[in-house]
Every structure is written in structure tokens, then in C-alpha cells.
Amino acid sequence: MSATRCTCRLYPAVVDPSWQKLSELQRQALSPLEAAWPAMTDGTRQRWLGVASRFHAQTHASQERMHRRMAAWSELSPGQRAESRLRYLQTARLSARLKRERWEAYKKLRAEKPLVNLTIASPRVIPPSSANLGTGATTVSMTDLFTSEPTY
């Protein structure tokens, strides 16, 4: 299992004695949160310790997925975390039927209207020799610079 560490700049590099008090299994399970640990409240730490207690019972694939998600969570700003929690609570209140209906509608929308490829296309390069230089143009084509005698 690859331990993912948070390399974000949200938290200063502080050695927290409470991190050192965790068991080796807890530190391994919560390793993506090590940098964020000093800034966490006791309540938040207790919730993460609950996650750590179930971590080693998970499959290897689940553990890796949990580590990726922990790393992503630790990189969120406090505002982004609050928004994420709010969205979770709003979704948790929906009935299973309504969630399923919304998911089906979303999938149908995606099938009808796929996302536009947002990659930046490379600009079309026009060689200077083929540029359309009309009368009064202030640019000189590169070929003219090398084929004609300079006029000083």
C-alpha cells in the first residue's frame, strides 16, 4: 500500500505530540492526514480515529481509495470542507428513490450532451512567408528580410 502524504501548504510543518501518541496502525491508516493533524479539533480527530479503527479490516483496494480521499480532503480549504459537508447532508436527507431518479436523469443528460473537450488546442501557426500582407501592413515577411538588399 502506498502511503499518500499531503504536500499542501495549508498546514505548517509542526510535529504534534498527539500524532506521536497514536499507535503505529492508526498512524498508518491516517498517514495522509499527518500534516493536517495539528490543526484539527479534538472532535475531528476522534471522528478520524473512528475511521482508522475500521481501516485495516478493509480490502487493499478500499484502503488505497480511502487514502486518496483522505489526501484530497486534507487539501481542501475550510470553506470547501464546509460546502462538502453541507452537500452531503442535503443528499443524505433524500429518499433512495429520489436519489436514484436524480442519478438516472444525470446519466441521461450526460449521454445526450457529452462534456466538451476542455483541453486547450494548440494555436495554428502561420509561417511568415504565407502571411497575407496587404498594403499598408507594418510587418515584413521573413522571406523579404533575407531575399532583398537592406535599404539603410
Work out the angle between the directed axes of helices 60-74 and 42-55 (0-180°, nearest 10). 160
pLDDT for the residue numbered 152? 47
**Can you tell me whether residue 59 is helix, strand or coil?**
coil
What is the Cα–Cα distance from 88 to 77, expressed in whole angstroms? 17
In terms of phi and psi (left: phi > 0; alpha: psi -120 to 50; beta: otherwise), the region of 136 is: left
Supply the pTM of this predicted model.
0.54
Q: How many Å is the maximal CA-CA distance in the chain?
A: 83
**pLDDT tens for the chain, residues 1 to 152:** 444 444 444 444 445 668 889 999 999 999 999 988 888 888 989 999 999 999 999 999 999 999 999 999 988 888 898 999 898 898 888 899 999 998 999 888 877 776 665 555 555 555 555 555 555 555 555 555 555 555 54
Say which DSSP state 34 is in.
T
d(CA 146, CA 115): 48
What is residue 57's predicted lDDT score, i.e. its pLDDT? 95
pLDDT of the residue at 78: 86
**How many CB atoms neighbour CB 75 within 10 A?**
17
The per-residue pLDDT for 6 is 47
